[in-house]
Amino acid sequence: MTHTLIGYARCSTDKQDLAAQHDALLKLGVAADRIYTDKGLTGTNRDRPGLDQALAAVRSGDTLVVPKLDRLARSVPDARAIGDGLAARGVKLQLGASVHDPADPMGKLFFNILATFAEFEADLIKLRTREGMAVARAKGKLRGKKPKLSDRQQKELRRMYDTDDYSISDLAELFSISRPTVYRTLGRHAATAAAAACRRAHRPPGGPAWRPAPRGSSGNAFSCRRSKAAARVP
């Protein structure tokens, strides 16, 4: 019976190159037409077409070859699930030049350590990304996604909607936006109007502007939340 080597390579962004991983798999004996890849998908994402194809291609007695464990998975549960699934099917898992033996206690320990480091590195990447975004936001370089419609366009959309002469589909076509965007715009406008009305209703003559009551308290906070809910677009 012929035992086949099936290769898998992955990179997290479209700008990264798979050439180095591809060459490493070729040197490990994997045929070029037996290499499956995913580009632009992170290891924490379990839904990967290339990985699914590689797992479907292996048969009992075959070996799934990856350059490093972090190319296969970036979380301990995923790495274990994939490794256990392959072992149950009689498929070997090769990490670089080493073949993982799930029956060997030391091999199992080493596998878990590699999976833990892969997950730790993924968490560090997320942390650095969040910190970088926070710094950029503080410097005014990260302002979020630009609204599809200007404030004036949003008000005009609401005015046209209130005339009952235009359907949601009509508004979407006229403003060149999607139906969900129309609903979101109407919802934001209604919530803003309800909040303004609520503030006016709870402001005593000559007194300070109304402020929402703390969570857990009764009275104004509840009535305003109810007003906002009533203002939502059906």
Residue 209 lies in a domain: yes
pTM value is 0.52
Residues 41 and 112 in one domain: yes
Q: Residue 145: its pLDDT value, please? A: 63
Order the strands of the 35-39 sheet from edge to edge.
Answer: 35-39, 5-11, 63-66, 92-95, 98-100
Residue 198 has pLDDT above 80, yes or no: no
Q: How confident is residue 141, by pLDDT bands cut at 50, 70 and 90?
A: low
Residues 122 and 196 in one domain: no
Residue 46 lies in a domain: yes
Asked if 73 and 79 touch (Cβ cutoff 8 Å), the reply is yes
* Domain CATH for 33: 3.40.50.1390
Residue 142 lies in a domain: no
Q: Residue 27: its pLDDT value, please? A: 95
Residue 79 lies in a domain: yes
Residue 146 lies in a domain: no
- Domain of 218 in residue numbering reads as 154-230
- Any catalytic annotation for residue 12? yes
Residues 111 and 162 in one domain: no
Report the range of poorest mean pLDDT among 20-29, 56-65, 72-81, 135-144.
135-144
In the beta sheet, which residues pair with residue 39? 11
For 221, the token pair is: 């906070």
Residue 65 lies in a domain: yes
Among candidate residues 107, 137, 167, the one where a domain is terminated: 137
Residues 61 and 117 in one domain: yes
Q: How confident is residue 101, by pLDDT bands cut at 50, 70 and 90?
A: confident
DSSP string, 73-86: -SSHHHHHHHHHHH
Q: Residue 220: its pLDDT value, please? A: 46
In the beta sheet, which residues pair with residue 98? 95
Residues 45 and 83 in one domain: yes
DSSP H/E element including 36: strand 35-39
* Marked catalytic residue, from 12, 150, 176, 218: 12
Dist. CA 49–CA 210, nearest whole Å: 54
Among candidate residues 69, 103, 137, the one where a domain is terminated: 137
Residues 126 and 160 in one domain: no
Residue 44 lies in a domain: yes
Residue 145 lies in a domain: no
Residues 42 and 114 in one domain: yes
More confident residue, 44 or 154: 154
Q: What percent of the chain has pLDDT over 70?
A: 78
Among candidate residues 81, 112, 137, the one where a domain is terminated: 137
Express each pLDDT in 66-92 by its tens digit. 998 888 888 888 888 898 899 999 999
Count of domains forming the chain: 2
Residue 229 has pLDDT above 60, yes or no: no
Residues 51 and 118 in one domain: yes
Residues 178 and 130 in one domain: no
Report the range of poorest mean pLDDT among 45-54, 71-80, 125-134.
125-134
Residues 131 and 174 in one domain: no
Residues 50 and 100 in one domain: yes
Neighbours of 92 (CB within 10 A): 18
Residues 14 and 101 in one domain: yes
